[in-house]
C-alpha cells in the first residue's frame, strides 16, 4: 500500500504530465501554423510521450491500491516566438520536469517507499533522454543559426522523428 502523501504527490505529477502534454500540443499547433511541419511533428510526438507518462503513473497508482484524482490543467500560451525560442522553452520545461521527479524520489526515500523508488528510477532515466534529445535540437539551432535555410533543414530533420 502506498501512503496518502505519496499518492497525492504522484497525482500531482500526473497533472504535471498532462500539462506538459498540453503545452507541447500547443507548441506543435503554433509551429504547424508557421508551416514548420517537421518541428510540429517532433512536438506532437513529445505530446504523445507525456500522455503515456501520465498513464504509466496512473497505472502505478492503481497497482498500489491508490485512487487517481485528475485535476484541471492550465491553459498553455498560444504564442511562443521563434522556433529556436520554442525549443529553448521545451528544454527549460524538461529541466523543470526532471526537478519534479527528483523531488518525488526524495519523498519516496523519505517515506521508505521502495516500490515508488523503483518506479521513479524509470522516469528519472527517461528524463536524462528527454533533456538530451531537446538539448541536441537547441544545440543545432546554436550552430546552424536562425536563417530560413537552417530552419528548413532542421524542420526536415525533426520531421523524421
In contact, 101 and 123? CB cutoff 8 Å:
yes
HEC readout, 20-83: HHHHHHHHHHHHHHCCCHHHHHHHHHHHHHHHHHHHHHHHHHHHCCCCCCCCCCCCCCCCCCCH
Q: Which domains does the chain have, with CATH numbers?
A: 4-158 (1.20.1260.10)
| pTM over the 0.85 mark | yes
* Tens of pLDDT, residue by residue, the chain (161 residues): 899 999 999 999 999 999 999 999 999 999 999 999 999 999 999 999 999 999 999 999 999 999 999 999 999 999 999 999 999 999 999 999 999 999 999 999 999 999 999 999 999 999 999 999 999 999 999 988 888 889 999 999 999 98
Amino acid at each position: 500500500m502506498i501512503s496518502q502523501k505519496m499518492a497525492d504527490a504522484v497525482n500531482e505529477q500526473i497533472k504535471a504530465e498532462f500539462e506538459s502534454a498540453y503545452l507541447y500540443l500547443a507548441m506543435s499547433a503554433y509551429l504547424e501554423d508557421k508551416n514548420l511541419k517537421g518541428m510540429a511533428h517532433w512536438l506532437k510526438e513529445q505530446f504523445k510521450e507525456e500522455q503515456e507518462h501520465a498513464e504509466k503513473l496512473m497505472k502505478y497508482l492503481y497497482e498500489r491500491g491508490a485512487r487517481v484524482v485528475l485535476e484541471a490543467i492550465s491553459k498553455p500560451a498560444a504564442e511562443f516566438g521563434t522556433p529556436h525560442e520554442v525549443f529553448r522553452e521545451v528544454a527549460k520545461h524538461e529541466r523543470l520536469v526532471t526537478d519534479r521527479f527528483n523531488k518525488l524520489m526524495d519523498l519516496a526515500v523519505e517515506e521508505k517507499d521502495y516500490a515508488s523508488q523503483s518506479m521513479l528510477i524509470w522516469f528519472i532515466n527517461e528524463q536524462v533522454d528527454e533533456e538530451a534529445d531537446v538539448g541536441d535540437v537547441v544545440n543545432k539551432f546554436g550552430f546552424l543559426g536562425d536563417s530560413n535555410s537552417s530552419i528548413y533543414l532542421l524542420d526536415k530533420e525533426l520531421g523524421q522523428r
